[in-house]
Amino acid sequence: MCQKSRGRFAILKEMLIDNKLEIGALSLVIIIISVILHELAHGYAAKRLGDDTAEAQGRLTFNPLAHVDPFMTVLLPLLLAISGQPVFGAAKPVPISRHKLKWDEFGMAIVGFAGPFTNLVLAAIGGAILRGNFLTGSLWVTWWFYFIAINIGFFVFNILPIPPLDGSRVLYAFAPEFLQEFMDKLERYGIFVILILVVLGYSFISPIIYSLDQHIMRLILG
C-alpha cells in the first residue's frame, strides 16, 4: 500500500540501475533505434505527399549511418543520459524538396511533425509496456525507462520552433510572411544554429525541456 501511494513514477526511478557503463550502452542502442524511426517517419511522410527525395538519396533505410550525426545524435544525448540530465538531440536532416510536396507549407508541416510524433508514440508504447508488465528486474526497468525518457527528449527538443528543428516546419506553415523570410534566412545556418542553441542556450532550454519531459513522463507512466 505504501509503494502504491507513492506512485509508479517514483518507484521506477528507485529501481533503475546505477551503472554508468550499462546506462551508456543501453542509451546508445535506444538512441539509434529512436533516431532511425524518427527519420524514417519524415521520409515516408514526404513520400506519401509526393516527394521521393529522401528515398532517392538513400534515407529510407534502417542503416544508422544514413541518419546519425556524431555529435547531435550520439555524443550529446549519450552524455546527457549518463549524467542524468534531460536527454535531447537530433539527427541529420532528411532531404526534402518542398516544391514536390502536396499542400506546400502544410505538407512540409506534416513531414516535419511526423518525426517527433513518432518519438512520442514510441514513448507511449514504452509506457504501456511498463504499466502492463511491472517487472522487478532492474535491467528491464532501466531499458524501458530510458526508452521512454529518450524518446520524450527527442520529441520535446525537436518540436522547438527554431530552424532547422522540426517544430519550425509547423510554425512556418502558419507564420506571417515576414517571419517566414526570417526563418528561411536562419535555416541556411542549419547545424550552427543548433550548436549555438545547445552550447550557449543550454541553461535556458534545459529547464524548459526538463519540465516538459517530466510532465509527459508522468502522463505516460501514470
- Give residue 216's pLDDT: 94
The average pLDDT across 55-79 equals: 86
In whole angstroms, what separates CA 74 from the centre of its chain?
12
**110 pLDDT exceeds 60?**
yes
d(CA 17, CA 19): 6
Ramachandran category for residue 165: left, alpha or beta (phi over 0 → left; psi -120 to 50 → alpha):
beta
Handedness of CA 215, 217, 220, 222 (dihedral sign): negative
**144 pLDDT exceeds 90?**
no
* Percent of the chain residues topping a pLDDT of 70: 89
Ramachandran category for residue 84: left, alpha or beta (phi over 0 → left; psi -120 to 50 → alpha):
left
For the chain, the straight-line distance linking the first and the last C-alpha, in angstroms and rounded, comes to 16
**152 pLDDT exceeds 90?**
yes
* Percent of the chain residues topping a pLDDT of 90: 38
The average pLDDT across 146-166 equals: 91
In whole angstroms, what separates CA 215 from the centre of its chain?
16
- Give residue 43's pLDDT: 94
Q: Are 24 and 18 in contact (CB under 8 A)?
A: no
Q: Are 102 and 49 in contact (CB under 8 A)?
A: yes
Cell 541518419 belongs to 67
Q: Are 149 and 87 in contact (CB under 8 A)?
A: yes
In whole angstroms, what separates CA 57 from the centre of its chain?
22
- Give residue 141's pLDDT: 79
- Give residue 8's pLDDT: 60
The average pLDDT across 166-186 equals: 92
**2 pLDDT exceeds 70?**
no
Q: Are 46 and 53 in contact (CB under 8 A)?
A: yes
The catalytic site residues sit at 39
**Of the candidate ranges 87-96, 99-108, 197-206, the one whose mean pLDDT is the lowest:** 197-206
| Residues composing the chain | 222
